């Protein structure tokens, strides 16, 4: 899987690639991540990539020329490998695990555009971008952190990226449910004891307990996931409070 991230703050993005899962995936050749400075395609001698919005108003808007030039050059360098152009913006489709699975299965290369300031010229959205993604209904200063979230979430699903492949399957939201509670040693801490079923060695009982706790936690904390008609959730599961 190849990721191309276009930003005006390349060092911010590169810093996240120097440790942890993403560094290991890069070293194993599972992913490649190239970070591009949008200012390299500026048409201004001062390397500006933004300008005042037509019609007035506050803030600055990314000009179309640098973004079109950046994407076209990146696509040309990728040869025959198809690339999807993704704009990270609050107006996009809200990111969830289903969308992450789709991205990991359908694309070999993602070009992630990180917006800043007041926004981008609408012609970029209309004529250059293939899909728009939002990570939630709140305000950030730019698309760098959202782009990194997409990269890590997709990478986790790629073969060999994490030590135990089943961990990615068991994570929260993988079945449309929140994760069950986890415990480790010691078996008793300050008078709080680990549930006996987890110490029993009965794998079927443990699996049932984990499933029940996963459903219970989802009903309590994210009932909207159950109301969404998730096929993996038994009908009639109600909220336990």
Active-site residue, from 53, 171, 179, 217 = 171
- Give the residue from 89, 80, 82 showing the smallest Cα distance to 110: 82
- Give the residue from 148, 135, 141, 153 showing the smallest Cα distance to 91: 135
Active-site residue flag, 53: no
Active-site residue flag, 37: no
Asked if residue 83 lies in contact with residue 75, where contact means CB atoms within 8 angstroms, the answer is: yes
Active-site residue flag, 202: no
Question: Which segments of the chain does DSSP mark as H helices, in order?
Answer: 10-15, 20-27, 64-77, 97-106, 122-127, 144-156, 165-170, 196-199, 203-221, 223-227
Burial of 4 (C-beta count, 10 Å sphere; 0-12/13-18/19+): buried
Asked if residue 119 lies in contact with residue 140, where contact means CB atoms within 8 angstroms, the answer is: no
Active-site residue, from 63, 116, 125, 156 = 156
H or E element at residue 189 = strand 188-189
Give me the residues paired with residue 238 across strands: none
Active-site residue, from 63, 90, 125, 144 = 90
Q: How far apart are CA 49 and CA 53, in angstroms?
A: 13
Active-site residue flag, 118: yes
Q: How far apart are CA 161 and CA 208, in angstroms?
A: 28
> Could you tell me how far CA 168 lies from the centroid of its own chain?
14
Which residues are the active-site residues? 90, 118, 156, 171
């Amino acid at each position: 899987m190849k990721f191309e991230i276009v930003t005006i703050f390349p060092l911010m993005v590169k810093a996240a690639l120097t440790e942890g899962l993403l560094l290991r995936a890069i070293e194993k050749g599972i992913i490649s991540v190239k970070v591009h400075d949008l200012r390299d395609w500026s048409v201004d001698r001062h390397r500006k990539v933004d300008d005042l919005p037509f019609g007035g108003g506050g803030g600055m808007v990314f000009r179309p020329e640098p973004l079109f030039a950046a994407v076209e050059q990146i696509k040309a360098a990728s040869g025959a490998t198809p690339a999807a152009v993704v704009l990270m913006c609050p107006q996009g489709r809200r990111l969830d695990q289903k969308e992450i699975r789709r991205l990991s299965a359908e694309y070999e290369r993602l070009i992630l555009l990180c917006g800043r300031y007041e926004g981008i010229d609408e012609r970029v959205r209309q004529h250059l971008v293939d899909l728009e993604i939002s990570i939630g209904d709140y305000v950030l200063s730019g698309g760098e952190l959202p782009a990194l979230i997409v990269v890590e979430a997709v990478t986790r699903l790629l073969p060999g990226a994490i030590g135990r492949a089943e961990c990615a399957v068991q994570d929260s939201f993988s079945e449309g449910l929140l994760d069950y509670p986890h415990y480790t040693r010691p078996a008793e801490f300050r008078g709080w004891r680990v549930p006996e079923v987890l110490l029993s060695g009965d794998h079927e009982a443990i699996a049932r307990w984990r499933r029940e706790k996963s459903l219970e936690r989802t009903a309590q904390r994210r009932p909207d996931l159950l109301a969404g008609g998730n096929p993996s959730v038994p009908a009639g599961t109600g909220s336990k409070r």
